[in-house]
Amino acid sequence: MEAGVACNFNCPTWVESSENFARKSTGSLLFGRISKHGHRVRVAASAQFPLQTSSNRQRWASFELSCSSFNNLSASTLETGSVRAPYDEALMLKKKSLEVEPYLNGQSIYLVGLMGSGKTTVGKILSHELGYSFYDSDALIEQEVDGISVAEIFKCHGESFFRKKETEILQKLSSKKQLVVSTGGGAVVRDENWDYMQKKGIIVWLDVPLEALARRIAAVGTHSRPLLHYEHGDPYTKALKRLSYLLEQRGKNYAKANARVSSEAIASKLGYRDVSELTPTEIAIEALNQIEGYLKEEGGMAIAEL
């Protein structure tokens, strides 16, 4: 009887086809069956999904399958082992945002970090998931200055003009709630910008290793980032040199953020060899984790009187 049940129960298929089960960290399933000899049996399965993932985005689940007759509750174990289960980052993001959203209480999220750290990319994902409005402060400045690019603004009007506009934009946004704002990499330098961002917002630092930033910037070119125009060499070297300097200047400012999202820490938690394996969605999930931690630990819910 037990062998018959074990054969009919294809555990890997079950785990992979059960969406609800696969996205939880633990789960169990109980159901009855009538064997071909007419015996009624009870089958129980339980599984554990550890946080760790392997680099090809599969989660390992360990399972135990046991069976007992209905009138005898002592179960005998049929099978134990581990199977690969799909790792659905979109579902994890949705679940996390539903968890964090009530704690946020409408507070805006301001993403800070060096150029190329993913503020725009991750910001769009977060805003979509939370149902918040997305703003890119650089894009708003460009709109205000006759639609010319940030690079042209630096060239025609100078950096201090740009910084003044940046502060004005942050001031305008500071009265609004339920925003995700991708700030420019230099927004953290002016104290007044912090006052505006903190008024109804949480400040989140996307901390990405310099080499990864330089690789990303080199891939798209340095033309749109005027602060890199002063350097010589190929795009990667130019970006790495300038970013190292900027991090020295601004590191202490970024570190004042309410929450820090370290790409290196996420990659190591997920078992990846390099931060380049991280997807923007995985970074968005970690941003929500860090925001949740901040709100719970620091009583951040009380910050915004909305």
Ligand X SMILES: O=C(O)C1=C[C@@H](OP(=O)(O)O)[C@@H](O)[C@H](O)C1
Sites of contact with ligand ADP (CB under 6 A)? 113, 115-121, 182, 216, 220, 278, 280, 283
Residue 280 interacting entry, from ligand ADP, ligand X, none, C-beta within 5 to 8 Å by type: ligand ADP
Binding range to ligand X, per CB under 6 A, among 75-83, 170-178, 181-189, 286-294:
181-189
CB closer to ligand ADP, 66 vs 182: 182
Q: Which one of the spans 20-28, 59-67, 91-99, 178-186 is the region binding ligand X (CB under 6 A)? A: 178-186
Helix locations, 11-88, DSSP H: 11-17, 19-22
* Residue 220 touches which member of ligand X, ligand ADP, none, C-beta under 5-8 Å by kind: ligand ADP
For residues 281 and 292, is the Cβ–Cβ distance under 8 A? no
Residues 146 and 140: their CA atoms lie apart, in Å, by 11
- Binding of residue 203 to ligand X (CB under 6 A): no
Quick one: angle between helices 89-104 and 119-130, nearest 10? 70
Nearer to ligand ADP, 220 or 306 (CB): 220
Among ligand ADP, ligand X, none, what does residue 225 contact (CB within 5–8 Å per kind)? Answer: ligand X
Tokens describing residue 64: 């135990």
Q: Which of 27, 118, 123, 186 binds ligand X (CB under 6 A)?
A: 186
Q: Which residue lies nearer to ligand ADP by CB, 121 or 127?
A: 121
Looking only at residues 222 through 261 of this chain, which bind ligand X when binding is defined by CB under 6 A? Answer: 225-227
CA angle 89, 90, 95 (to 5 degrees): 95
CB of 6 to ligand X, least distance (A): 57
What does the alpha-carbon distance between residue 270 and residue 305 come to, in Å, rounded to a whole number?
Answer: 36
Q: Which of 43, 93, 115, 257 binds ligand X (CB under 6 A)?
A: 115
Residues with Cβ within 8 Å of residue 187, at least 6 apart in sequence = 112, 137, 166, 170, 193, 197
Selected range binding ligand X among 58-66, 179-187, 200-208, 230-238, rule: CB under 6 A: 179-187
Is the separation of the CB atoms in 146 and 156 below 8 Å? no
Residue 82 corresponds to which amino acid?
A: S
202 membership: H or E segment, kind and range: strand 201-207
CA distance 29 to 43: 8
Query: What residues line the site for ligand X (CB under 6 A)?
Result: 115, 119, 138, 150, 184-186, 225-227
